[in-house]
Structures are given as structure tokens and as C-alpha cells.
Amino acid sequence: MDPVNELQPLDGVVLQELKQLTDSRGAVLHMLRCDSELFSEFGEVYFSEVNPGAVKAWKRHTKMTQHIAVPVGKIRLVLYDDRENSPTRKELREYEVGRPSAYMLIRIPPGLWYGFENIGPSMALLANCADLPHDPAESESVASNEGPIKVQWLSES
């Protein structure tokens, strides 16, 4: 695999470092503002708690653009591109995302498969600020071991 291309995100994915304003009481953690170049429309903000060792995969949206951040703990985020005509079709990307060393916003456009697992010793929390409210009609899910591509999840190793 081309090591340079490996560093490029899948087409339409954006990663953006986020500020952590830390003091002795606890950090203030930025996520998304209306004047960000990544912001388009507000649909819904919600959280997904991930217990130690838990895997949440696979899912794909047909319309929703997600903006995710991990303000607690650390997850491994896996993205797989099976979009027709995408310049990164059949490519896979993995990111370790979370606190405190990799606190970032990740834009996931519609059409990408995604899944994540907790890779830390304690609970992790993923936040999603999406451009549409939840609608089961615009997403599909398959089991973590039956995804569009074989991934070795930590809890299976």
C-alpha cells in the first residue's frame, strides 16, 4: 500500500484538531461552532457510550453527514469506502481518537461504512453532531463480524 496515500483521508472525510482548555477543575473541550467551515446544518446532537472492550459496527448512512468527537476515553474508528465512483473506493482508514492526545473532530460524509471500538481501560464517550436528526430509513447496519470488509476487532483477538 502506498504510504503517502495511506495518510490521505477517504474522499469527503475531514479531520480537525480540537482545542482542550485545561485547568485543575477539568478541561473545556471544543467541538463544533456555527461559523466553522465544517458546519452545514444542525440536525441532532447525541452521545454513544462505549464500554471497555465493546465494538459498535458496522453502520452506513445514505444522507446524514456526521461530525464526531470523543470527549471521554479513546476509541479506534474504522472507515471503509464502498461508494461507487469514489476516488478512494475499496480503501480503509483507521484512527485512534480521544483524550487527551488525539482530541479531534471527524467529518464522515454519507455513504461510508463506519465502526468503532473502545481501546482504553475505561468507558469512552463518542459525541455526534449530525446534519439530520436520527431516521432509521436512511441507514443500514450489519454485525461487526459481517461487515463490508474483515476487520480484526481487539475484543476478538
Q: Residues touching a second copy: how many (CB under 8 A)?
A: 36
Residue 147: helix, strand or coil by DSSP? coil
Q: Is 104 in the site for a second copy (CB under 8 A)?
A: no
> In this chain, which stretch among 2-10, 27-35, 86-94, 106-114 interacts with a second copy, using CB under 8 A?
27-35
Q: Is 15 in the site for a second copy (CB under 8 A)?
A: no
Q: How far apart are the first and last CA of the chain?
A: 24
Q: Which residues contact 69 (CB under 8 A, 6 or more apart)?
A: 18, 29, 31, 32, 97, 103, 104, 105, 106, 126, 127
Residue with cell 464522515: 108
Neighbours of 150 (CB within 10 A): 7
Pattern 34-53, a second copy, x by CB under 8 A: xx---x-xxxxxxxxxxx--
Least Å distance, CB 84 to a second copy, is 30
Q: Is 121 in the site for a second copy (CB under 8 A)?
A: no
Single residue of 72, 79, 112, 151 touching a second copy by CB under 8 A:
72
